A and B are shown apart, each in its own frame.
Chain A
Amino acid sequence: MYVDLTVDFTPDEAKGYAQIMIIVASADGALVKEELAMIEGLMGRSMMHPEMRVDIRTMLEKPPKLQMVMDRLTPVVLKIALRDAILVAAVDGEYDSEEIKTLKLIAKGAGVKKKELSELFEWVKAGWEWHKLSFEHLKLV
């Protein structure tokens, strides 16, 4: 049920995918702990090799250029990266203008239309609502 499409990535695709997460997380100039936790979770979910995760962490200080990363990735990988990049951008509670700008560039690279991008944003919002319910079930709010 929770095996994601990212599990099937080649090592280079997995690396590019994780790099995009880092680029989006640092787009607003500050990488917060929530974003870091999200990226680590996504790398875990894709079952990325621990050594590759170490490589990715070293890029947190100086993220690679978006276009260079996107050039290596297929539209399919870019779409999956776009979906998860929106989750990363949303994790600190709001979308920064630089994050939105970056997400739009990824959408363009993936061939995703404006309306479709809005649908992805709506999907993320629905996920937030679902996740918040768990805190209510657990009486943590």
Chain B
Amino acid sequence: MLPDTVHKLPREERYAYARLLAFMARVDNELTVDEMAMFEQRLGTALLSPRQREMIRSALKTPPSLESCLEGLGPEAGRLALRDATLMAAADGTVDDDEREVLQAIVDHLGLADNAVEALLNWTVKGAMWMQEGYDLLNTLSE
């Protein structure tokens, strides 16, 4: 939702980024409204063409393999995809073992520090708190 650099990536990498998110959305075999809202938000931010979005939405039905998703990602796109995959995993309020395993596999692929998943999950919690503060603020605004 905030200023980002995803839209600056090459088109092919933005597509690969979105495929990874589609993969992540289906890791636990269920797609909640929270995950869908997050997924659609990230697709929008990536400025994919309407045709690419359609293709990505169909990837939700038949998710690609993790390996094929990772192949198309450069170093920056991979890191941004990892961050947003973490947001996706946490979007329904819990991160299950399968999701954590996938996040760790992405970290290993990118050669990041072992504590990267934990750091990003902590960051995600802070983001959720920030969003909640926004809702609380809206609730206190004058009528």
A-side residues, CB < 8 A to B, are 1-5, 7, 33-34, 36-47, 50, 54, 75, 79-80, 83, 87, 90-93, 110-113, 116, 119-120, 123, 126-128, 130-131, 133-134, 137-140
Contacts and interface: CB of A to CB of B under 8 A. Distances in A.
13 contacts: A38-B45, A40-B47, A91-B2, A116-B137, A116-B141, A119-B137, A123-B137, A127-B130, A131-B127, A134-B83, A138-B79, A138-B80, A138-B83
The DSSP consensus for interface residues of chain A is helix
Contact of B138 (A1, A54, A83): A83
A37 B36 contact: no
B141 to A, nearest CB: 5
Given A43-B44, A79-B141, A110-B141, A90 B37 contact: no
A137 B90 contact: no
| 7 closest residue pairs by CB, A with B | A44-B44, A40-B44, A44-B40, A41-B45, A45-B41, A131-B2, A138-B79
Contacts of B102: none
Given A2-B38, A37-B4, A137-B123, A120 B47 contact: no
Interface in B3-58: 3-8, 33-34, 36-47, 50, 53
Given A126-B130, A138-B83, A1 B7 contact: no
Contact of A4 (B37, B87, B119, B130): B37
Nearest to B110: A138
Contacts of B47: 33, 36-37, 40
B65 interface: no
Interface residues of B, number: 53
Contact of B76 (A116, A134, A140): A140
A47 B40 contact: yes
B28 to A, nearest CB: 15
Contacts of A34: 3, 7
A65 B91 CA distance: 36
